[in-house]
Amino acid sequence: MHAVEIFDTFSPSMRMRHPSRVPPERVVTAEDYRRMFAHARDAYLITGGDGLIVQVNEAAMLLLGYTEEELYDVRLPDLLLDDDDRARVAHALRPGSDLPEQELRLKRKDGAAIVCLAAAYPRSDGQGGFLISLHDVTEHRRTQQQLIHSAFHDVLTGLPNRLLFMDRLERVLRHVRRRTGYRFAVLFLDLDRFKLVNDTFGHAAGDELLQAVSRRLEDCLRQDDSIARLGGDEFAIIVDAINDASDATRVAERILESLKTPFSIQGRDVQVTVSIGIALSTSGYDTPDDVLRDADAAMYRAKTSGRAHYEIFDLEMHRRALSQLQLESDLRDAIERREFAVHYQPVIALDAGSVTGLEALVRWRHPRRGTLLPGEFINVAEQSGAIVEIGWYVLREACRQMQSWRERFPRSTLQTTMSVNLSARQFVQPDLLVRIDEILAETGLDPSCLRLELTESAVNYAPDLARGVLRALADRGIRISLDDFGTGYSSLQQLKQLPLSNVKVDRSFVRGLRSNPESAGMVQTIVALGNSLSVDTIAEGVETPEELDELRALGMKFAQGYLFSTPLSAEHAERLLTAGEDAQQE
């Protein structure tokens, strides 16, 4: 049947009830309907009583990718992708039925899937068949799906976001209530010192690192586990259907092992570690927030106790976490309230037994908890960012105090230097050199009297930046000390490129001198390395005469520790310098 014939069969729709009253120019002919059908923007198909397509318009051919001849003798269900849709549409297109408007997925000739709003209306000629309309909503649905995906996924990494993670966690908790013996765990992950990447290489590098970390974390998961980026450098994982805690810890161990391999970011190797907290469902949780809170507390414990490992939550950890949160709150106001004080620990020349230097060490005079040592608050300060301002305070106070002592005790301080620790965060501050210059100018201290100490890990984190900054400091006459040496991975070639004046042997090696032959071997190696680089070696944490004897036998020339003196207040350190001044006058 041709198109005109088909449209002629629609005569009841096209004839006017009172033709004598209608002007000729308002009469709509079958040809008008045919042309409207042919050029309509939506796709139209007409089927015969046997269900086969007998007529299509141009839009239908474009939509489906077939020619007119190819569509003849095809049934609409044959074009559908889903079995359920085919069965439902085949049932709806029986004589006497119709197909209410609904979404259908169709397959184009090229295999591409499209989504259409479809409706079918019985033809009015009494011969069966349907007039079928197809409105393409593929792009609309794709945009809608993208919006839904964006609402529940992290834009940067593509991982589920916090919203979707909490929804999944709620479902897992419901499963626990319904099924006896079902267990799960949540891992809370926080990248260690991630801010250093942003501060050192820029936010683009930080974003690239987060994407790379995300891919590596996904590779560590089991098939049914779920991961999400909660925000910033925080991730969370649901370890599903575990037998016991060991299933969760194995995932954590795989992650820690995986991150030991450096990432290549913008042509540089970047090493990153992660602290992991684990909360087990056996604790009897009611809400997703409770689970995540405890996993977060365990992560915080892992971070404050050394980083790059995991901790499993317990109730004591919750108590400590609350205490740490309070400490962080107190820390915000501590600088303004001038609650910090600087103490000074002597560095001793072992051959003469004289004071050759002082190391500035901060103390927090907490209004409720009394005097706190660095180990009790430095990790909190690093996490909150307060470590930078604390560092500037210590540097300014130490320089001011040293200049005062040099003016009052010129003999005993002639060869004495003031050592001040620079935190990793402070070291990467863009105004580092300017601030140091300002403090030296403000206090009047000669740069040669200042010794800045950095940990081996801080230097290795961004070696190119470190070399440039350290050379600039050395050019000013400031001495550079590598602290906690032996705990990192510095090579001899790396050390040769640094303008060091001394290295400090980590106290862990000093403690193990008599019980661990490897410690003695390490100390001997460091002394030999220092000699080859023409830099002094200083042993930290010397507490017993036996340790001192061992160090002397290994060639150590300088040391500090409780055997010689605890860190002293400025008043007590002054007495030490007074005694030295008097001795040199005699």
* Amino acid of residue 440: L
pLDDT greater than 70 at residue 6: no
Give the per-residue pLDDT at 1: 45
CB atoms within 10 A of CB 374: 15
Alpha helices (H) in 104-244, listed in sequence order? 138-152, 162-178, 194-201, 203-219
Give 470's pLDDT tier (boundaries 50, 70, 90). Answer: very high
3-state helix, strand, coil in the chain (%, to 5): 50, 20, 30
- Cβ contact 71:46 at 8 Å: no
Give 16's pLDDT tier (boundaries 50, 70, 90). Answer: very low
- Cβ contact 298:277 at 8 Å: yes
Give 179's pLDDT tier (boundaries 50, 70, 90). Answer: confident
Give the per-residue pLDDT at 384: 82
Cβ neighbors of 481 (< 8 A, separation 6 or more) are 419, 451, 452, 453, 454, 500, 501, 502, 503, 504, 538
Take residue 343 and report the two structure tokens written for it.
């103490």
* Burial (CB count <10 Å: 0-12, 13-18, 19+), residue 273: middle
Cβ neighbors of 308 (< 8 A, separation 6 or more) are 192, 256, 273, 274, 275
CA contacts within 13 A on the Cβ side of 157: 27
Give the per-residue pLDDT at 232: 92
Chain centroid, CA 511 distance in Å: 36
Most confident of 78-92, 187-201, 345-359, 474-488: 345-359
Please give the DSSP secondary-structure letter assigned to residue 127: S
Give 319's pLDDT tier (boundaries 50, 70, 90). Answer: confident
Backbone angles phi, psi at 516, to 5 degrees: -130, 110
Task: State the residue for tokens 């992560």.
Answer: 299
Backbone angles phi, psi at 309, to 5 degrees: -155, 180
**Residues above pLDDT 90, as percent of the chain:** 54
> Which three-class secondary structure state does DSSP give residue 468?
helix
Chain-wide mean pLDDT for the chain? Answer: 87
Higher pLDDT, 575 or 94: 575
Nearest to 37 by CA among 16, 9, 17: 9
Chain centroid, CA 27 distance in Å: 71
Take residue 166 and report the two structure tokens written for it.
């909490």
Task: State the residue for tokens 């061992």.
Answer: 550
* Amino acid of residue 192: D
Take residue 246 and report the two structure tokens written for it.
């060991």
Nearest to 577 by CA among 396, 411, 400: 411
C-alpha to C-alpha distance for 382 and 425, rounded to whole angstroms: 8
- Cβ contact 96:127 at 8 Å: no
pLDDT greater than 60 at residue 574: yes
Higher pLDDT, 380 or 453: 453
Give 3's pLDDT tier (boundaries 50, 70, 90). Answer: very low
pLDDT greater than 90 at residue 495: no
**92-96: average pLDDT:** 77
Give the per-residue pLDDT at 327: 86
Cβ neighbors of 203 (< 8 A, separation 6 or more) are none
Alpha helices (H) in 409-500, listed in sequence order? 424-427, 432-443, 456-461, 463-475, 492-496
pLDDT tens-digit map of 523-567: 998 899 888 889 999 999 999 999 999 999 999 999 999 999 999
CB atoms within 10 A of CB 531: 13
Most confident of 371-380, 430-439, 451-460: 430-439
The three-point CA angle 306-310-316 to 5° equals 85
Give the per-residue pLDDT at 414: 79
Poorest-pLDDT segment among 57-71, 120-134, 468-482: 120-134
Chain centroid, CA 31 distance in Å: 67
Q: Which residues of 552-576 are buried (b: 16+ CB within 10 A; e: fewer)?
A: eebebbbbbbeebbebbeeeebbeb
pLDDT greater than 90 at residue 199: no
Cβ neighbors of 143 (< 8 A, separation 6 or more) are none
Take residue 420 and report the two structure tokens written for it.
């001040």
Nearest to 483 by CA among 515, 501, 506: 506
pLDDT greater than 60 at residue 18: no
pLDDT tens-digit map of 29-64: 777 777 888 878 899 999 888 888 999 999 999 999
pLDDT greater than 90 at residue 121: no
C-alpha to C-alpha distance for 398 and 391, rounded to whole angstroms: 10
C-alpha to C-alpha distance for 105 and 85, rounded to whole angstroms: 8
Cβ neighbors of 255 (< 8 A, separation 6 or more) are 187, 189, 217, 220, 274, 276
C-alpha to C-alpha distance for 2 and 423, rounded to whole angstroms: 86
Q: Phi/psi zone of residue 278: left (φ > 0), alpha (ψ -120 to 50 degrees), beta?
A: beta
pLDDT tens-digit map of 207-264: 999 999 999 999 999 888 999 999 999 999 999 989 999 999 999 999 999 999 999 9
The three-point CA angle 483-467-526 to 5° equals 35
pLDDT greater than 60 at residue 7: no
Give the per-residue pLDDT at 212: 96
Give the per-residue pLDDT at 277: 95
- Cβ contact 467:497 at 8 Å: yes
C-alpha to C-alpha distance for 45 and 120, rounded to whole angstroms: 9
Higher pLDDT, 455 or 383: 455
- Cβ contact 283:227 at 8 Å: no
Cα distances (Å, whole numbers) of residue 115 to 67, 98, 515, 552 = 20, 20, 74, 82
Cβ neighbors of 352 (< 8 A, separation 6 or more) are none
Nearest to 464 by CA among 214, 192, 205: 205
Give the per-residue pLDDT at 324: 77
pTM value surpassing 0.75: no
Domains of the chain by range and CATH? Answer: 40-141 (3.30.450.20), 154-313 (3.30.70.270), 329-573 (3.20.20.450)
